[in-house]
Amino acid sequence: MSLATILSIVSAILGLLRWFVSYSEQQKWIEIGESRAIIKGLEDCEQVIKDARAARQAVRDQHIRDPDSIMHDDKFKRPD
């Protein structure tokens, strides 16, 4: 084997290693992005649940203060 052949083989191996490192780094950043998106979605869901629980508790508190208000008409009354 000549020196040129050995250098071209080493150069090809280094090129493959460079590509592999670049690919691994890209995959790492993609996974980080996916994780952040999942966390953001879960935080949004948690906030919606907290808001719903607060609204439910507000209605319960109102009915505890004024039990007769349960039977008052509202916009959700069925027309039958």
pLDDT tens string 47-62: 999 999 999 999 899 8
Say if 23 falls within a structural domain.
no
Average the pLDDT over each of 6-15, 31-40, 66-75 and give the range with the smallest value.
66-75
Distance CA 50, CA 48 (A): 5
Q: Indicate the helix (H) or strand (E) that contains 68.
A: none
Domain count, the chain: 1
What pLDDT was estimated at residue 34? 97
Distance CA 72, CA 80 (A): 16
pTM value surpassing 0.75: no
What pLDDT was estimated at residue 80? 66
Residue 47: domain span: 31-67
Say if 47 falls within a structural domain.
yes
- Does residue 77 have a pLDDT over 90? no
Distance CA 66, CA 68 (A): 6
Say if 73 falls within a structural domain.
no
**Is 33 within 8 Å of 40 (Cβ atoms)?**
no
